[in-house]
Amino acid sequence: MSKNKKVKHVLGLSGGKDSAALAIYMAREYPEIDIDYFFTDTGYELPEVYNFIERLESLLGKEVLRLNHNVRLINSDEPVFKRLLKEHNNFLPSGRQRWCTIRMKLEPFERWIKPFLDDGYEVISYVGIRADEPWRDGYVPNESQKNLTIKMPFAEDGIKKSGVFSILDSAGIGLPKYYEWRSRSGCTFCFFQRKIEWVRLMERYPKAFEEAKAFEKQAESSENGETFYWMGPNEPLTTLEDPARIAQIKENHEKALQRFEKKKLRERKRKLGMHAMVDEEKLIDTLSMDEIYDDIEGGGACITCYK
């Protein structure tokens, strides 16, 4: 890199623990780097996420740029997701067809950095992949983004999950409050959530749940709309109107949790130690959601949304 090259450092906050810890870590360990923090607001985030971003802002003493914070106001008569769903032939996004991440998270990011790249900047984007995770793409730059570099300081500096907890603890911010009931940030209707999390969404945020149901209804006009839903094939959210189904989901989750606790709790306590603010035992349900269901962390979800 030439000495006079213009460089822009950026770090995306998803509302999740790893990106938050990374922002704190960078501010502490690399104070000489002037980083622009950003949050790509889909307009369908949890209230706890907004709250956590605001607390981070105070902690960092720096504004976190909202890349599309008024996304719902573009056309107030038509919620943005309703419009996007139409543009995608009313096919709900899924693990295989994750158009939502592209449209609501990646495109705003690309639009934001494009003028800098066009202006000859090298853009360095820091992502919170940890040293104890399998390597995953933070964001794969395309042909026109040759000057975009992805860096993973946690992976490079050997910071693991316990290190992330320590950073959040020592900064006095702890974990985002949604960990009391849900395992990751992202849209209220995210299809990566477990059935138990849908039940909890319904109980905590009935309006957001009804909105998700309305999108399913809209998706019924797509070619496969009658069989594919947020929770998977043949199980629309309306099935949660049946108290017996809710009881069954809760019971199944409780059993899975008990199995996991038996197997892992002692080992985890020994490994991670207990933290002042991050009470591993109390939050084992959400902090370990993927492990409870034998999945890798994130359950395959895009790091842009939950990291």
Would you tell me which residues interact with ligand SF4 (CB under 6 A)?
Answer: 42, 93, 98, 100-101, 104-105, 186-187, 190, 192, 301-302, 305
Least distance from C-beta 267 to ligand SF4, angstroms? 30
Nearer to ligand SF4, 35 or 302 (CB): 302
Nearer to ligand SF4, 186 or 225 (CB): 186
Least distance from C-beta 173 to ligand SF4, angstroms? 22
- Contacts by 117-122, CB closer than 8 A, 24 or more apart: 117/144, 117/145, 117/147, 117/148, 119/6, 120/5, 120/6, 120/147, 121/5, 121/6, 121/7, 121/8, 121/147, 122/1, 122/5, 122/6, 122/7, 122/8, 122/147, 122/148, 122/149
Beta bridge partners, 66, equal 39
Contacts of 265 (CB under 8 A, 6+ apart): 281, 284
Give CA–CA dist 99/97, Å, rounded.
Answer: 6
Residue 81's CB is within 10 A of a number of other CB atoms, namely 24
Nearer to ligand SF4, 25 or 215 (CB): 215
Least distance from C-beta 298 to ligand SF4, angstroms? 10
Nearer to ligand SF4, 173 or 302 (CB): 302
Nearer to ligand SF4, 15 or 225 (CB): 15
Residue 259's Cβ-count burial label (10 Å; 0-12, 13-18, 19+) is exposed
Nearer to ligand SF4, 45 or 280 (CB): 45
Which token pair is 262? 């038996």
Nearer to ligand SF4, 103 or 268 (CB): 103
CA atoms within 13 A on the CB side of 238: 9
Q: How far is CA 215 from CA 93, 149, 242, 246, in A?
A: 11, 36, 20, 21
Least distance from C-beta 305 to ligand SF4, angstroms? 3
Give CA–CA dist 251/77, Å, rounded.
Answer: 40
Least distance from C-beta 40 to ligand SF4, angstroms? 9
Nearer to ligand SF4, 40 or 166 (CB): 40
Which amino acid is present at 276? A
Q: What phi, psi does 229 have (nearest 5°)?
A: -135, 175
Give CA–CA dist 224/95, Å, rounded.
Answer: 15
